[in-house]
Structure 1
Amino acid sequence: MFSFRYIIFKKSEMIRKITALFFLAILFAGCGEKKFTIRGKLDGASPDTYIYLDKLGGMNLEPFDSVKISDKGSFEFTGKIEYPEFFMLRITESNFLTILLEPGENMSIQASADSIGYTAEVEGSPGTGKMIEYDKRLQEAMKELQKLGEIYEARVDSPDLEQVMNQLDQEAQKILNGMNEYTRNFIDENLESMVSLIALYKQIAPQVYILNIDKDLDYYVRVDSTLSELYPESEPVKTLHSQMETLLANLDAQAAQSAKTGIGAVAPDIALPDREGDTIRLSSTRGKYVLLDFWAAWCAPCRNENPNLVTLYKKYHEKGFEIYQVSLDQTREAWLNGIKEDKTGDWIHVSDLKYWSSEVVPLYGIKGIPASYLLDTEGRIIANNLRGKTLENKLAEIFD
């Protein structure tokens, strides 16, 4: 859920920075260098002002050229490129315009010298024109969010602030949804252009991507497959393709893990030594409802949950409830001290004391602790990561 709270104090200029520092330079199969020309007219330029042309290579800006703006506000760049390239035209680090140059293009730009990124009008560069068109729509969305920020600031001391915030969250979500739809349409209309690749990475606020990799995965796949076929030697396309291969492999792995540890699956068996060194199998608890709980003495949230487990164990153990607790501790001393301090010694404790190298970590795909699974009498997973009141309610549903 997109939260307005997250972006209240973020500046709209951030999105242009993200665009400008887009980490890929466009490379196509060699076709020989061709000359490009950029002619510009900047209204209100101060005398002796320089304008710089930097090439976007990786995450770095590579200086390409610089010229002094004439008394009439005009400037001109010429050069040769073999492939389409992203460049930044800038007067200062915060006053810039990102452009997409094609070999042989003759681009003309007119803008206000104090805000070239927001005021630029471009001819002779279709790719740049599309980027400007997209960013103008994005800036409109950013301004709408800023208006919500003004409402928040005006109501911050209001007694009904929580209600106001909920309404602002809803309005912010509408703005994001609208921008998401616009981005989808933009990609549909420009699927065979490199600007579609850039659109995948647009953000409406820091770390708030317009496209959601889960909900919009098909757009990532379509851009990848289309551009990989059109421009197989393009470095950004190859980078995107590599990222997609990794992502899809991870999704396949997650699906496989879900098949092993998802709801309805029989929990993979565990056989680890207990406090006395005797091997205790998880499967030995069949016939009972079992909480399989992964914890460690060094894990504060785990320790905070243990008193709740003690209460529930005392309440439901005689009715057929068991706890099989697996520690990811590194030392026997820490493990046993944690059990003693939390008074959890009544149930089953096992550990190989291998920390994150424990065999149970990949077996259950554990990314963090606490992590838990509730098993039925046949060892099937019926719930996961229940804690506090939710676990109490589930056990009451089963036993009461």
Structure 2
Amino acid sequence: MLTSVLPWLLSLAAASSDYVVQGQLTGVAPGTKIYLTQYKDRWLTLDSATVDAAGHCELRGQLPAPILASLKIQGQKVLYQMPLHPGDNLTFTLAPEPKKEFLRFTAQGSVGVEQWQQFQRNIYPQMFGTAQLPAKNRGLRELRALVRHTSDDFLAAYLTKNYLSRQASQQPFVDSMTTVLARRQPNMAETQTLAARTATASLSEKGGDVAPDFTLPTVAGQPFTLSSLRGKYVLVDFWASWCGPCRAENPRLRRLYQQYQGKGLEIVSVSVDADGAKWRKAVSQDQLPWTQVSDLKGWDSPVAQLYGVLAVPTSILISPTGQVLAHNLRGEDLEKRLAKLLP
């Protein structure tokens, strides 16, 4: 009896993870390929379909866990995103948008899809264009409300990790939300990343711990290892070419480096850029003479995660013996600390 029931249970489990995504496209030629993709260190194609003469396509597959999926149309660079859960049955439409190069995208079939579109249309435009937003920003306020409302869903973990955790003003909320997510969605990859970063950031802020060692490529492509600077005070500065506050701080860092390098200070800038050309251009434009490193993995950088970096700029001051002395010293606070350490 058991042997006859087992295949039925296995087929039922597989069916529960099946998804179907059906699309109706206007202004897209029959025969055009549509790709359903996911970014996971690199772009992965989950399924593909061909638009038929009626403008219809259908994509199918199985998922072990929810993801943010992206639709890509052959010959176009624009990606159309939507949350996709195991068992979802979604529909979408793509139609020409007047006076715009991209198509108007609408999806339906799940609460998660509707909430994602609410974020994209109503919340994200209020946040776009500035790396670090003031705490009272309306978009951040509405995003916090959406995350609270969706705390049992993948979307809450995704939005907290990829948007709120990168805002310095939102760290108290992120810490609180991480606790909630760890209770409600403990197996979600986004939740686990948040929990690890929060724990590491907490340790770094206490000071006294040995700074984790790492090796990353420089602008010239040569490997650099942090521990090679033992015997000197080291400021590890996490930044990015697109981060306005980071770039604004660089002239001060350049002046402090010139003043204290001869006395035993080194700076190591770790970029969370994903675009190598933009990173190298920013280094050249800002005339940064100290060590510049990056693995060009953006926020997925293992080193950024190792140091619990939740937003940029983030800095860690390290002693000649490798201990963490301070976290996020900037401006006059950094100047005073260096003057005391290196008179």
TM-score category (smaller protein)? 0.3 to 0.5
Q: TM-score, normalised by structure 2?
A: 0.43
- Whose Rg is larger? 1
Q: TM-score, normalised by structure 1?
A: 0.38
